[in-house]
Amino acid sequence: MLIVGLGNPGSAYAQTRHNVGFMVIDELLSRHSHDSIKKAAFEGELFKIKDHFLLKPTTFMNLSGRSVASVKKFYKIDDVVVIHDDLDLPFGALRFKVGGGHGGHNGLKSTDAAIGKEYLRVRVGIGRPAHKGEVTGFVLGKYDEAQQELLKAQIAQTADAIEALWQGGSWEDVASKYSVKKVPNKANAPIA
């Protein structure tokens, strides 16, 4: 299985909403011993935990698919899971789906173009800004101090779900057990 966390490389983006996929990969790496795989053609940071590969593309979000396709092809991996931020879900929510549209998410758009749409998407809710014109600043903005506790719980829940997939759970069973639909109202207040 190939687990991809979407995000942008570099310290300037490290704690932004758009990098929550990277945060989940980091959480999994902190829980398990792993090997690092170096290959320039992969255009990403690649790790192996048991029989599973974890990828953080270093191509920037809009070119993520190149990295995903390169690793998928080289190792002949059929099962791909992509963890990404989702504006259409409230902050704290966690949902799962196979296929579908990209919803304007450049990382998904790139991945869809590179490997097709039939992969499991782990949708990590980040909420929406108060005004539509603020989306770019919002996704590239950092979580505030009040959001840190819920963010930690959201990352842990997502990592738990990935571990359940590793243990052979179907994505439907994992979705049933680990989806989070309702979150505290104060966590979802739009950022002014």
List residues with catalytic annotation.
18
- Write out the E strands in the chain: 2-5, 35-37, 44-49, 52-57, 80-86, 94-98, 120-125
- Return the closest-CA partner of residue 116 out of 99, 140, 103: 99
Which residues, other chains included, contact 12 with Cβ-Cβ below 8 Å and sequence gap of 6+?
none
Q: Are the C-beta atoms of residues 157 and 119 closer than 8 Å to each other? A: no
- Pairing type for strands 2-5 and 52-57 reads parallel
